[in-house]
Amino acid sequence: MITIRKIETLRPRLRVRKVGELMHLAFRGEELEEEYVDSLLAILLESDIPSQADKDFFTHSFNSFKMGERLAAEDIYYRTLTLLGEEAADWDFLDEEGRLDASRRIILPHRLLLDRVRSPFNIGSIFRSAESLGVEHIYLREGCGDITSPRCARTARGALDTVSHSIIGSLDELKGPFFALELGGTSLGSFRFPESGVCIIGSEETGVSPDALALCESSLGKVSIPQLGAKGSLNVSVAAGILLYSWSIA
């Protein structure tokens, strides 16, 4: 457990965030000593970020928590998020600087090549799924959307900092085996995933490029996700998430 002395050395916003995160842990069952809880409240009351109304709320909620109302700890957590203009990421593991803790990741020898995926929103969403499902590295082929876009960062929710990635100009830079997530391939439930390899995911409009598809056809081929609807296709980030989960448990 981080010490009160350490929390007091953090920047003001990070101090408030850390108090909220600790109370969220308390809601989920982490045991905090009463003196420690009192010190957390004192940090909030001494901060210039909460208004007086916020401080009154915190005082009441901390007292309720000490009297056994565990939900009060969650109320404190969400109030700190509101103060900071942030959203909840309830199950994230964060380091002392408030970033995703990369040391908590289980990394599999699974790599992705995004082949001209254009939308920064989709790229960020794929990064987020990749972070959760053990992807070792993401290659972005030249022509992909801008990973520095705020939309990409917003949907990635910190995963751009924890998933290793690079931009490549040539497929010759990659080592297989290779397979493509593409229509007309082996059904997801029957495909034999490699222990280690590269899955190529194509653009939203045209799919996997001909040269990349040829590389896959000479290696492990294509895998497809069976569908039951009339639409005929899935959003590329949704399809990537389904694929990565299936690969992670294969």
User: For residue 158, is pLDDT > 90?
Assistant: no
Q: Which residues pair with 138 in a beta bridge?
A: 112, 165
Q: Return the domain boundaries, the chain.
A: 4-84, 102-248
> By the 8 A CB rule, do 106 and 80 touch?
no
Q: Which residues pair with 178 in a beta bridge?
A: 198
* Local confidence band at 157 (pLDDT 50, 70, 90 cut-offs): confident
Give residue for tokens 């203009």. Answer: 85
> By the 8 A CB rule, do 160 and 114 touch?
no
pTM for this predicted structure: 0.66
Average pLDDT taken over every residue of the chain: 92
Structure tokens at 192: 């034999």
> By the 8 A CB rule, do 179 and 220 touch?
yes
Q: Which residues pair with 111 in a beta bridge?
A: 137, 198
User: Of all helices (H) and strands (E), which one includes residue 184?
Assistant: strand 178-187
| Cα–Cα distance for residue pair 142/78, rounded to 1 Å | 40
In tens, the pLDDT along 31-68 reads 999 999 999 999 999 999 999 999 999 999 999 999 99
Q: Classify domain 102-248 at the CATH topology level.
A: Alpha/beta knot (3.40.1280)
- The fraction of the chain above a pLDDT of 70, given in percent, is 94
Structure tokens at 173: 């830079």
User: Of all helices (H) and strands (E), which one includes residue 150?
Assistant: helix 150-156
